[in-house]
Structures are given as structure tokens and as C-alpha cells.
């Protein structure tokens, strides 16, 4: 299948490679000349054969909106746009309407997998009509992990449902990372425990708390046993805030997710071993930047 891909950053670049390895023809566009296949969005649209499919993988917010608005000009009836970034679900309806006025289909796709997705596959949560999702299924099947489709892909509902599901996914992720970080801090505080990393390593098999995030924390601790090379300052990229805001709107209690969000705010005031663990985890699974501690202190 032929596909246009806008945005060749940490995830987009690897997604292009995975889809090409899966036999798809992928033409990528990115403002950086060293990674792009075509010089402009117009050139991307021209290089694709109608009916065209373009996957947008750019930062959420104004950049996504501007990109979709530009594609509404360059594409035409029968084409399709997939927003695979971390857009807020409330933005999907307006984007679908903007594109729909020109007969362009729209799918919102929540994507999880970070920098490991090239090898392991990406967890996908999509929103859109049955017909549109079925049309794009060869792409989804290549990107998702191997195995039964339902174990790595979900058609969550109509437009907006995919990004809503991804928002909740990231809220849960916040809570899990903070719990693992707190466990590390408690182990490190007790003199009886000689090697907190060894404990986390032992938890990777046979325990009820084992998970990919837990394995990544064991890996991070092995690389930097006391997290001496990073500060605990931890950003929040939006989805955790949105999850708490939607929980308030829907009157659903999410105390663990809310606490994890506020812990990130706290990390910007006082250095914390727990938040160092969270920062290290974000770097391990997603390649997110960490703030290094300077040699001068």
C-alpha cells in the first residue's frame, strides 16, 4: 500500500522504516532536508497516487492543526488523513469536519510504543468509520505488534475515540511510572536492601508487578544505579492533564493518575529520587530528553 507520512521525528522516522520493511511504499515529508523524501507538502501530495492516504505524525496543537489545514488544500475527494500524534480528542471533530468538506476521510490514531516500536510494533487505538478503518487496516496491521490483532489494535469508536483512548492510556502510564519510582525510592532508603536494581531485575519474571515499564526501570538502574547523571525534573506532555480534566468532567475518580500528575509538578520544585526514576523511564521507552546534571554541579 502507498502512504504519505508527515513528520519524521523519533517515532515517525521509525514508523516509516517499519512500514517499508512491511512492503509498503512510504513517501515521507519533514522540514529537515536530511530525512525528508520530498521538499514540500505539495510535492508529497503530487507524489502520491489517488486515492491518497497521508499519516500525520507531528507534535499536538497548532502544528497538527496547521498541517491538517494545509493537507485540506493539497488533497481532494476520496483521500484520507490519519492523525497519529497525541492530539486532544476534542480537536478531532473539527479536523474531520474541515477535511470532510472536501470529501477527505479522517481517522484519529493513538500510537504507543515510543522508540521501541520499530522492533516491537506499536499499540494502536483508532477512531473513525468502519469503512475508513478497514481501508487503512493494511497499514495498521504492519505497524501493530505481531500476534492476534485484538492484542495490539483497537477500533475504539467513531472519530475522537482513538485519541481519547490514548489519553487515558497515558494517564495510566503516569500512575504506573510514579508507583515504580516510589518503590525504587523506598528500596533505596532501606540499608537492609543492598541492591535495589537487583530487586527490580528479579521482579521482571514471575511477579504480579512485572511489566515492560518495570523492565525498563531495571535497565535504567543498571545503566545509572543511583540516577546520579540526571535530575528529577519531569515534564508532562499534556495527556495526563487532559485525563484528569476529563475525569473531572465525567465525575470519575482517578486519584492515582491525579497524584502522578501533581508529582511531576513537584519534581520541578525539589529534586526527588522517585521523579528521577520517572524521568529515566520516559527516556527509556520514548527517548524523551532528560535534564543532565552538569559536572560543575
Residue 166 appears among annotated catalytic residues: yes
Would the pLDDT of 292 be above 70?
no
Residue 226 appears among annotated catalytic residues: no
DSSP 8-state secondary structure symbol assigned to residue 270: S
Q: What is the pLDDT of residue 246?
A: 97
Among 91, 166, 239, 246, the one annotated catalytic:
166
Among 10, 34, 74, 173, the one annotated catalytic:
173
Would the pLDDT of 297 be above 50?
no
Q: What is the pLDDT of residue 132?
A: 98
Contact 105, 81 (CB under 8 A): yes
Mean pLDDT over 143-165 rounds to: 98
| pLDDT digits 0-9 by tens, 96-142 | 999 999 999 999 999 999 889 999 999 999 999 999 999 999 999 99
| pLDDT digits 0-9 by tens, 259-291 | 999 988 887 765 677 878 888 898 888 777 777
60 DSSP β-pair partners: none
What cell does 204 get?
521482571
Q: What is the pLDDT of residue 270?
A: 58
With a CB cutoff of 8 Å and minimum separation 6, the contacts of 78 are 50, 51, 103, 104
Would the pLDDT of 296 be above 50?
no
Q: Give the integer Cα–Cα distance in Å for 62 and 229.
A: 34
161-189 and 239-250 are packed helices; what angle lies between their axes, rounded to 10 degrees? 110
Would the pLDDT of 239 be above 60?
yes
Amino acid at each position: 500500500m502507498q502512504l504519505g507520512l508527515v513528520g519524521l521525528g523519533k517515532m515517525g522516522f521509525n514508523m516509516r522504516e517499519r512500514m517499508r520493511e512491511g512492503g509498503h511504499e512510504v513517501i515521507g515529508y519533514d522540514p529537515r532536508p536530511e530525512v525528508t523524501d520530498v521538499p514540500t507538502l505539495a510535492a508529497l501530495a503530487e507524489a502520491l497516487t489517488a486515492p491518497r492516504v497521508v499519516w500525520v505524525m507531528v507534535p499536538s496543537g497548532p502544528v497538527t492543526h496547521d498541517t491538517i489545514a494545509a493537507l485540506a488544500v493539497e488533497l481532494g475527494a476520496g483521500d484520507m488523513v490519519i492523525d497519529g500524534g497525541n492530539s486532544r480528542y476534542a480537536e478531532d471533530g473539527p479536523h474531520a469536519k474541515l477535511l470532510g468538506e472536501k470529501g477527505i476521510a479522517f481517522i484519529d490514531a493513538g500510537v504507543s510504543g515510543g522508540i521501541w516500536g520499530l522492533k516491537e510494533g506499536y499499540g494502536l487505538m483508532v477512531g473513525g468509520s468502519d469503512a475508513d478503518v478497514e481501508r487503512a487496516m493494511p497499514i495498521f496491521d504492519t505497524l501493530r505488534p505481531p500476534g492476534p490483532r485484538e492484542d495490539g489494535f483497537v477500533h475504539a469508536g467513531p472519530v475522537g475515540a482513538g485519541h481519547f483512548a490514548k489519553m487515558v492510556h497515558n494517564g495510566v502510564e503516569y500512575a504506573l511510572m510514579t508507583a515504580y519510582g516510589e518503590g525504587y525510592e523506598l528500596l533505596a532508603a532501606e540499608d537492609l536492601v543492598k541492591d535495589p536494581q537487583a530487586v527490580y531485575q528479579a521482579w521482571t519474571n514471575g511477579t504480579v508487578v512485572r511489566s515492560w515499564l518495570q523492565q525498563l526501570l531495571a535497565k535504567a538502574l543498571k545503566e545509572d544505579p543511583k540516577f546520579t547523571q540526571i535530575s528529577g525534573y519531569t515534564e508532562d506532555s499534556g495527556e495526563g492533564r487532559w485525563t484528569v480534566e476529563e475525569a473531572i468532567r465525567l465525575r470519575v475518580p482517578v486519584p492515582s493518575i491525579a497524584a502522578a500528575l501533581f508529582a511531576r509538578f513537584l519534581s520541578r520544585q525539589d529534586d526527588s529520587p522517585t521523579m528521577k526514576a520517572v524521568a529515566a523511564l520516559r527516556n527509556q521507552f520514548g527517548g524523551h530528553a532528560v535534564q543532565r546534571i552538569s559536572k560543575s554541579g
